[in-house]
Amino acid sequence: MGADAQALIARIEAAPALIIGCPVFQGGYPGLFKHLFDQIPPGVLKGRPVLITACGGGLRHALVVEHQLRPLFGFFEALTMPTAVYACAPELDADGAPTGALAQRLETGVAQLAASLREIRCAA
C-alpha cells in the first residue's frame, strides 16, 4: 500500500467523527470505496459518529444509504446518525445548491452529528 493510501487510512482512523459520502454506481457503492474500508480494522470505528451520505443521478437509488452504507458501518459498530443523506440532481437548484427536502436532510444530519460529538466530549 502506498504512502498516500496509508495516510488517508490513518486520518480516517484518527477522526473524531466521519462524514462518509460516495457516488452510487449501478445501484451500489463503488468498489474502490469498499476497498478503502476493507483496509480498516473492524474495531477501530466502534462508537465513532458517522453521517452517511451518497449521491446519484436520480431518486431510484435513494435507499443505497440504508441498504448498503448503513450495514457497512454497522459491521464496524460505528454510531451512524439516524438521518442519512442521499442527493440527486433534481434536488439541486441551478447553482448546484440543495433545495427543499435535501436541504432539510442535510441540516438534520449535521445537527445530529454535532450533538453526538458534544455528547462524546462531555462524557470524556
Which CATH number characterizes residue 11's domain? 3.40.50.360
**Alpha-helical regions (H) of the chain:** 3-14, 31-38, 64, 70-75, 100-123
pLDDT at 79: 96
Is 20 in contact with 69 (CB distance < 8 Å)?
A: yes
Instruction: Give me the average pLDDT of each 10-residue run along the chain (124 residues).
Output: 90 96 91 94 95 91 93 96 94 89 95 94 78
Residues in the chain: 124
How many domains, the chain? 1
Task: Return the number of other C-beta atoms located less than 10 Å from residue 62's C-beta.
Answer: 17
Q: Which pTM value belongs to this model?
A: 0.91
pLDDT at 109: 97
| Residue range(s) defining the domain that contains residue 82 | 3-123
Buried b (16+ CB within 10 A) or exposed e, 88-120: beebeeeeeebeeebeebbeebeebbeebeeee
Separation between Cα atoms, residue 6 and residue 99, nearest integer Å = 37
SS3 80: strand
